[in-house]
Structure 1
Amino acid sequence: MLDGMKPYDERLTVPRLWWLIAALGVALLGVTLVPLGIVPMLAGVAAGSALVAVALNSYGSVRIRVTAGSLVAGQARLPLEALGEAFALDAEQAAAWRTHRADARAFMLLRGYVPTAVRVEVTDPADPTPYLYLSTRHPDRLVSVLRAARPAAG
C-alpha cells in the first residue's frame, strides 16, 4: 500500500492570472460606482472582492488525494480495489480524452487551466463508470502513487 510513500495530495488552484483579472474587474466595478459616492463605491468594491475571492477559491479548492485504501477526486471517493490501470496523459492526449474520445459515462474532474491529466480505469462491475479523467499538474507522479498503492492481485 502506501507504506514508506508519501500520500498524494494535490489542490487544483486557479492560475495567478485569474486573480489579476478578477482584481481588474473589481477595480472597474469601483470606477463604475464612483458617481454614486464614496460609501457605495467602497461597499461595492468590498462586496465584489469578497464574491470574487469566494468564487475563485471555491473553484480552485478541488483536491485529488490518494490515501490509505482510496482515491478521492473532488466529490468522488473510490476504493483502490475498484480501480484498474492508470495512464498519464500529456496535453495532446488529455485534450483528446476530454473531447472526441470522451465517454459520457466517465467521471471527469476537469480544470481547463490544467493541460495534463490521468485516466484511471474503473474495474468494479457494479459501477457503470468506465474511467476517471482527472486533471492534474503531476500526471506521472499520480500514476506512480496509484500503481504503488493498488492492492496486489491475488
Structure 2
Amino acid sequence: MQPSAAASVPASDPQYDERLTAPPAWWVLAALAGVAGGLIMLPLGTLPMLGGVILAGALACMAVSSYGSARVRVVAGSLVAGDARIPVSALGEPEVLDAEEARAWRTYRADTRAFMLLRGYIPGAVRVVVTDPADPTPYVYLSSRDPKALAAALTDVRAQARK
C-alpha cells in the first residue's frame, strides 16, 4: 500500500496500489448469514439445513468479497480506480481529505457528476479535480486508508509526466 520509489521502479509497475477490502465485521455477518440460511432450512431436515448453510454462506461471502475487491492504483501515468482509467495529465492537484472533510464530500458537498469510488467504512479520502475541458466530470473522489501516500504518488507521476 505504500508508494514505491519512482526512480527505481519501471513505468509499468504500480507506484501506489490499494485494495479497498471489507472490514472483518462484514465477514462475521456473512458467516451469520450462513447460519441463518441453515436455521431457515432446519425444519426440512439435516441435509437441507447443511445445504442452506453452504448456499447462504457462499452467497454472503461472494457479496462481501465482490464489494471489497475495488482497487485504487497509480500506474503507467494513469490513475486506475475500479474500472476507470484516468490519465494523470487530465487531473489537477490531489487534495487529501480527513474523515470530516471526506464525509462532507460524500454527502452535502457531493456533485452528482463526480466519479466516486467510495467505501463508507474507510474514513479518509482523496479528491482530485479533473482539468480536462472535454470531460464533464468535475472531480474524482477516492476512499483510501492512506490518502497521503495516494496523493504523493499522484503528485510524483504528474511531475514525471511534465518532464
TM-score scaled by length of structure 2: 0.89
Return the alpha-carbon distance in structure 2 between the equivalents of residues 31 and 54 of structure 1.
Answer: 20
Q: Does the Cα contact within 8 Å between 1:120 and 1:132 map onto a contact in 2?
A: yes
1:130 aligns with 2:142: no
Q: Does the Cα contact within 8 Å between 1:29 and 1:45 map onto a contact in 2?
A: yes
1:28 deviation in Å? 2.1
- Report the identity percentage: 58
Return the alpha-carbon distance in structure 2 between the equivalents of residues 104 and 61 of structure 1.
Answer: 24
- Pick from 79, 102, 110: which aligns with 2:87? 79
Return the alpha-carbon distance in structure 1 between the equivalents of residues 27 and 91 of structure 2.
Answer: 36
Greater CA drift, 21-30 or 138-147: 21-30
Q: 3-state SS of the aligned residue for 1:108?
A: strand
Greater CA drift, 128-137 or 18-27: 18-27
Pairs within 5 Å for 1:52-63 = 52-63=60-71
Q: Which runs of 5+ in 1 are unaligned?
A: none
Greater CA drift, 19-28 or 137-146: 19-28
Q: Which runs of 5+ in 2 are unaligned?
A: none
Q: Does the Cα contact within 8 Å between 1:2 and 1:68 map onto a contact in 2?
A: no
Pairs within 5 Å for 1:2-151 = 2-4=6-8, 7-151=15-159
Q: 3-state SS of the aligned residue for 1:14?
A: coil
Return the alpha-carbon distance in structure 2 between the equivalents of residues 153 and 3 of structure 1.
Answer: 15
Greater CA drift, 44-53 or 124-133: 44-53
1:48 deviation in Å? 0.9
Q: Deviations over 1:37-89 (max 9, x none)?
A: 01111111111111111111110000000001100001111011111110110
Q: Does the Cα contact within 8 Å between 2:40 and 2:52 map onto a contact in 1?
A: no
- How many residues were matched structurally? 154
1:2 deviation in Å? 3.6
Q: Identify which of structures 1 and 2 has the higher relative contact order when contacts are C-alpha pairs closer than 8 Å and 6+ apart.
A: 1
Q: Does the Cα contact within 8 Å between 1:30 and 1:42 map onto a contact in 2?
A: yes
Q: Does the Cα contact within 8 Å between 2:95 and 2:127 map onto a contact in 1?
A: yes
Q: Does the Cα contact within 8 Å between 2:33 and 2:60 map onto a contact in 1?
A: no
User: RMSD of aligned C-alpha atoms?
Assistant: 1.6
TM-score scaled by length of structure 1: 0.94
Q: 4+ runs of 1 displaced by more than 2 Å?
A: 1-6, 151-154
Return the alpha-carbon distance in structure 2 between the equivalents of residues 142 and 68 of structure 1.
Answer: 15
